């Protein structure tokens, strides 16, 4: 009398009639896990610390950035360096903390003035290729000193910009990042 192995352990029948198993996190739960992890990375790490898109809603940075453009803010741009003159930055507006985009025209220790629509920094006329002087009016402002730990910002559309001329220098701790890339519309994609 010989004993037969139970049906599930017979070598010739192994694998027959069984449902395939999913290993390594595949299947619907594995995909859901992947989506959750990706969302956590994007909203928990990438957006607050690396990069975030923003839409331009005003003409204050025209012609560099126009209403309807979208830009990518690099959040880590000033973690180990300070903004420099000419940089386009993202910062919290002094009045309400709203994310705002302007150009740095003065850094700590600079004296900033506008004479007949032209920017002067430390008494010297500044050539700004990004400003359309046909749009600037004959305004006068300053001189004013930029204190330590601050930057002075203006919109490129000087006659239509609420900026440091109204609310003063922006504290360095309110600078959220740099704007280096225009990502929309497609025909205007490129560096800022």
From CA 31, how far away is CA 150, in angstroms rounded?
47
Note whether 5 and 13 are within 8 A (CB).
no
* List 2, 9, 55, 60, catalytic entry: 60
Greatest CA separation found in the chain?
113
pLDDT at residue 11 in the model: 47
Cis peptide before 63 (omega within 30 of 0): yes
* List 75, 102, 150, 164, catalytic entry: 102
pTM here is 0.75
Is 102 noted as a catalytic residue in this protein?
Answer: yes
Q: What are the backbone dihedrals phi and psi of residue 113, each rounded to the nearest 5 degrees, phi first? A: -150, 155
Please say if the pLDDT value at position 139 is more than 80.
yes
Note whether 83 and 73 are within 8 A (CB).
no
Give 180's pLDDT tier (boundaries 50, 70, 90). very high
Tens-digit pLDDT profile for residues 74-129: 988 898 899 999 999 999 999 899 999 999 999 999 999 999 989 999 999 999 99
Is 60 noted as a catalytic residue in this protein?
Answer: yes
Considering the domain 53-191 in this protein, what is its CATH number? 2.10.109.10
């Amino acid at each position: 009398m010989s004993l037969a192995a139970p049906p599930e352990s017979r070598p010739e029948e192994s694998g027959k009639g069984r449902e395939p198993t999913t290993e390594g996190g595949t299947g619907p739960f594995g995909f859901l896990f992947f989506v959750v992890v990706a969302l956590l990375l994007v909203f928990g790490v990438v957006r607050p610390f690396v990069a975030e898109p923003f839409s331009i809603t005003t003409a204050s940075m025209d012609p560099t950035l126009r209403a309807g453009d979208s830009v990518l803010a690099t959040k880590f741009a000033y973690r180990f360096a300070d903004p420099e003159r000419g940089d386009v930055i993202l910062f919290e507006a002094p009045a309400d903390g709203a994310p705002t985009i302007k150009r740095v025209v003065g850094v700590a220790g600079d004296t900033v003035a506008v004479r007949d629509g032209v920017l002067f920094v430390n008494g010297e006329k500044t050539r700004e290729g990004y400003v359309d002087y046909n749009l600037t009016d004959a305004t006068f402002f300053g001189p004013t000193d930029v204190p330590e730990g601050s930057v002075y910002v203006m919109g490129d559309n000087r006659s239509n910009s609420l900026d440091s001329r109204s609310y003063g220098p922006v504290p360095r701790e309110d600078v959220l990042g740099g704007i280096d890339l225009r990502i929309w519309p497609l025909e205007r994609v490129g560096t800022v």
